[in-house]
Amino acid sequence: MIKKNSIKFFETLLKTSSPSGYEEEAAAAFRDYLGNFCDNVKTDVMGNTVGVLNEGAEMKVMLAGHYDEIGFQVVHISEDGFIYFRPNGGIDKLNVPSSEVMILNEHGKVPGVIGKKPIHLLSPKERDKAPELDDMWIDIGVESKAEAEKLVCIGDPVANRVNVQFMGKNRIVSKGMDDKVGAFIVAETMRELSKRQLNVAVYGVGTVQEEVGLRGATTSSFGINPDVGFAIDVGFATDVPDVPKKKLGDIALGNGPELTRSADNNVVLGRFMRKLAKQKKLTYQESAAHRASGGTDTAKIQLTRTGVATALISIPNRYMHSQVEMCDLRDIEGAIKILTETIAALKGNESFIPGID
């Protein structure tokens, strides 16, 4: 399985607080780790971090996993010192009440809890519907607006509290698994590739602001101008009750990473990757993706400049966009192996033009 030092880094990354647009903490952890084995590492003005191997090679390969996470943002402080907020990314309001959070600012991290009216005080009509975010607040334990303003400013980002834990033999649960698991796989693939003789230049990127519009992938891929791009993200596990396999496929934790087929996945690159996986006897699951049009950072990388041959590898994830996202270490390890073998096998002169491979 994945080495102890790597797991330690994974835990460190998961314990960072990095709501979209405020990824400094995750970028620092990612940058420090890549510095142990990449030829050079830098973080750009957006907050994307790029580690490079074999930079002088003609063919460029990009790996991307976003390390931003969903969260909130402070918009108002009441006279009683309660903090009102708005979503930053795709928030499921059913998961929000009673959450423990951290408000982030230049002074540090301010702990808080998200409150709402108790069930005893709700009218029958209110009980029958999900509470709106406008009907919730963050309580930081103060007694007045003046006291709150010494700790919190309008616009401060808010992250869910750190909660990493291992469950069973192979499962790991955390907020922000989407998509720090992808950033971890990028880093570990770069570490494995640093031991190989490469024919291509490899750029391992931790991207920002994926949850609010795929922004980091847009700028980083433009700067790198890759020939081949792999995005690593999470996908929907369907091995839980009431998730329709007939719409989303049969995807289970522990059965390997998902290799996706959709409009933003290059068919030639997909065949190349699957052939290598079969030759090396590496397990994977086939996925038609959530939408036929695709999505994730893959979409932005594909459309960079004159176009890029792209592929998405997804890690099955239970309870996506919640504080308790669950993934399996076997799927993570499988993704690292498939990416490592695929990139190491590139000679640097491949054509990924559909129909003439």
Q: Which residues are catalytic?
A: 210
Residue (of 31, 36, 52) closest to 204 by Cα position: 52
Q: How far apart are CA 156 and CA 101, in angstroms?
A: 12
Neighbour count for residue 135 (Cβ, 10 Å): 13
Q: Return the amino acid letter for 310.
A: T
Count of positions (residues) in the chain:
357
The helix (H) or strand (E) run that includes residue 145 is helix 145-149
Class of residue 152 by CB neighbours under 10 A (exposed 0-12, middle 13-18, buried 19+)? buried
SS3 for 63-93 is EEEECCECEEEEEEECCCCCEEEEEECCCCH
List all residues 6 or more positions away from 95 whose beta carbon is below 8 Å from its beta carbon.
321, 322, 323
Cross-strand bridge partners of residue 60? 201
Centroid of chain to Cα 116? 29
Report d(CA 326, CA 335) in Å as an integer. Answer: 16
Please tell me whether residue 232 adopts helix, strand or coil conformation.
Answer: strand
Number of H helices, E strands in the chain: 10, 17
Q: Is the dihedral of CA 73, 76, 78, 79 positive or negative?
A: positive
The letter for the amino acid at 207 is T
Q: Which residues contact 24 (CB under 8 A, 6 or more apart)?
A: 18, 47
